Structure 1
């Protein structure tokens, strides 16, 4: 039986205000963390995005802060400006009319404006490490009255190289404080941070709900040899036709190149990465949430601040280095009881990595081949048929009937309808398909769902044995996987032994 927010220890006033903004029942992590934080305990929370952790740390802080004291009493550190904006917006909503004030400080916005906001007084500061340090050094931000310290997405701070900055900031805060750390994963470096700066913390863990994977249709498209992923993605997108999608890539350069390629093909898509200005990011977020842009190509770090309701698809253009990141990505779809689809592009040398991910989520992916030209055309015709059926019940149909009555004296009615459909189809048919792009003309045999493992160097179903696999994509085997080496950048891999067959390096995305 689920508890109410008031039963967790929040005031009646806070519980009523939460109900007014649509928070009727606490999530798992909120039920675990809120009572501990209200009781004065340090908390370590391990949970994925979308579990409600922002409210889990925000509500106890807001409940305990002194509204009459204008000094900074709570500091929330986030790895990216997007997440800082998101957390600040959520906390401002939770604050309501209580009289408390929260300020967001991050790079990409005028520091003078942020200094002015701090001078006016704020009890809560949400910021990125770099800008927080800048303001500390200028003397515009003081932490001597801080009673609460929160590290959000600590694993991303580690991957972005912010841990030294985080330690520097923590060392300037009073030792008599409450500290909460939230992270999707818990690598050893984060554990060391916990042991150093948290006081006998309570650990709360929210695993990916068992029902969630069943609501996410996980699909893998197998990339043919000598094909680039960019070439394979276009027919996949035409076949799947995502309503809204996040397309994950490794690098900013890939994000920019892939976006240009898809825009040239006439798709509604834009890029989202660290090279964009803050103004450009906020503008894109608004357009994406308002469905003015259907798809966004993003890097993992930048996408931490991208939270869109009812996302229909997540597409892994590049497989991530860790299973935790994969789960974090696909967890953005299939929320709130809705079904979602997670599509992954898998190259031959990534088949074993695919199996590792499958075992982790305990669900086999549906393995598909690149859609053929005939399949894509059939999909478009089926879609057109649905549009025609919808138009038959529309109000504008009557205005076209006189044209048909006039033409039917000279042409067959069926021929007229077929000609109209042909015109409509040709106008909506993708330009790249008309240009004669090299697509499979016949549907390939369905791939086997499992791949038998052989230790004698035989075929794994990816065209090479165990030794060949490691030489081509994962030199050093398991050690390279843990170190998170980029599978697509095989220029850093030593030349394989002459007797072993090597895979060709994938050409540029635009090639």
Structure 2
């Protein structure tokens, strides 16, 4: 199957080819024809399987550049993901005839208001800032053709359910609704079904994530020696680019200072880091000017950088699903990946849960 068979036009296929994308992923194969047909979709596929292009390609194919209305709303749980989706959108706007606006907190609202005076076709937004614009009457969603809720599980986890319900009251009565998520539980389904008409459920099972191409290891240590163990692993591996996951913002702060003192090229990213600085850090990381990105789960949501070769779980994730989300940041685009988790005795319960979910015991690594 290729993109032409899915109904995607030559202009979009040329952009994909320029970006080295020749073959659709399973979630794209399943979703694109149905979205082009105007169906409402609930799509479940793991991190790194191409969910963003699954909805962006048909959106760009169906957009009307001459219209003065906002035609598409894409809701994102985090600013980082909103920025990333916006960057992907810009790739397809080859003629600059589609006006795209990202709307999120921490960004100058005056600049957003200025851009809204022009005709905007696509809005990518976090719920809070979008509601702010709706209340100011600076954004009119009454003519929307398509609404996308991206990373719906994270939306609910971060408490955006009420915000989404408020936003939906201001949208067009008739529109296409697309809901994509790495995990679709009963709460996500309940939210989706409330606003959808006879939705199709597309579930691309986990073999399509390249978790098989990710080498996983565990280093058994103690809280006291964890930092030394991490530094020893980093020196031994010297990865091209890596993300180091911490459980809290405070632990990310502490680790960044410690790694800097030891000469590691690293930066932290979490919700207390000012937005402009976060954007600069992410830009530097994408260019590989930063070797180690220290991140919390929320800040890292939606980071999709194919050059990330290693993931280090400095702190054990809360759930097996979070572990899979984290390690899915490596081994992208068919490349091999490596992930290492640091386990103190108190973490054994979480480790057992993760190994049970994976169906095997993760090999131990000696440092």
TM-score (norm 1): 0.69
Equivalent of 2:318 in 311, 316, 321: 321
Shift of 1:362: 3.1
Equivalent of 2:278 in 278, 281, 284: 281
Residue 30 in structure 1 maps to residue 41 in structure 2: no
Residue 260 in structure 1 maps to residue 257 in structure 2: yes
CA distance in 2, matches of 1:64, 1:93: 16
Work out the number of aligned pairs and report it: 367
Q: Is the 8 A contact 1:184 1:324 kept in 2?
A: no
2:305 maps to 308
1:48 maps to 46
CA 1:363–1:338 in 2, change beyond 3 Å: closer, same or farther? Answer: farther
Shift of 1:287: 1.8
CA 1:289–1:14 in 2, change beyond 3 Å: closer, same or farther? Answer: closer
Equivalent of 1:223 in 213, 221, 224: 221
2:268 maps to 271
2:94 maps to 96
CA distance in 2, matches of 1:202, 1:15: 25
Q: Is the 8 A contact 2:303 2:329 kept in 1?
A: no
Secondary structure, counterpart of 2:284 in structure 1 = helix
2:247 maps to 250
CA 1:63–1:358 in 2, change beyond 3 Å: closer, same or farther? Answer: same
* Cα RMSD, aligned residues only: 1.8
CA 1:290–1:20 in 2, change beyond 3 Å: closer, same or farther? Answer: closer
Equivalent of 1:160 in 150, 153, 158: 158
Secondary structure, counterpart of 1:167 in structure 2 = helix
Residue 356 in structure 1 maps to residue 353 in structure 2: yes
CA distance in 1, matches of 2:110, 2:238: 45
Q: Is the 8 A contact 1:100 1:123 kept in 2?
A: yes
Shift of 1:306: 2.7
Shift of 1:286: 2.0
CA distance in 1, matches of 2:205, 2:327: 14
Shift of 1:40: 1.1
CA distance in 1, matches of 2:256, 2:96: 44
CA 1:339–1:192 in 2, change beyond 3 Å: closer, same or farther? Answer: same
Q: Is the 8 A contact 2:76 2:149 kept in 1?
A: yes
Secondary structure, counterpart of 2:235 in structure 1 = helix
Q: 287-296 or 177-186: which moved more?
A: 287-296
CA 1:322–1:211 in 2, change beyond 3 Å: closer, same or farther? Answer: closer
Residue 144 in structure 1 maps to residue 142 in structure 2: yes
CA-to-partner distance for each residue in 1:421-440, whole Å, 9 max, x for gaps? xxxxxxxxxxxxxxxxxxxx
CA distance in 2, matches of 1:4, 1:215: 24
CA 1:341–1:263 in 2, change beyond 3 Å: closer, same or farther? Answer: same
Shift of 1:19: 2.9
CA distance in 1, matches of 2:79, 2:21: 25
Unaligned 5+ segments in structure 2 are none
Residue 193 in structure 1 maps to residue 196 in structure 2: no
Shift of 1:332: 1.1
Secondary structure, counterpart of 1:281 in structure 2 = helix
Q: Is the 8 A contact 2:240 2:309 kept in 1?
A: yes
CA distance in 1, matches of 2:126, 2:209: 34
Shift of 1:210: 6.0
Q: Is the 8 A contact 1:42 1:178 kept in 2?
A: yes
CA distance in 2, matches of 1:149, 1:120: 21
Shift of 1:171: 2.1
Unaligned 5+ segments in structure 1 are 372-511
* 1:358-507 superposed matches below 5 A: 358-369=355-366, 371=367
Q: Is the 8 A contact 1:155 1:183 kept in 2?
A: yes
CA 1:69–1:210 in 2, change beyond 3 Å: closer, same or farther? Answer: closer
Q: Is the 8 A contact 1:81 1:305 kept in 2?
A: no
Shift of 1:367: 1.0
CA-to-partner distance for each residue in 1:135-164, whole Å, 9 max, x for gaps? 101011000101100001111111211111
- Structure with bigger RCO (C-alpha 8 Å, 6+ apart): 2
**Higher Rg of the two aligned structures:** 1
Residue 123 in structure 1 maps to residue 90 in structure 2: no
Shift of 1:349: 2.7
Q: Is the 8 A contact 1:155 1:184 kept in 2?
A: yes
CA-to-partner distance for each residue in 1:5-36, whole Å, 9 max, x for gaps? 12112234433443344332211111111111
Shift of 1:282: 1.3
CA distance in 2, matches of 1:347, 1:353: 11
Shift of 1:239: 2.9
2:110 maps to 112
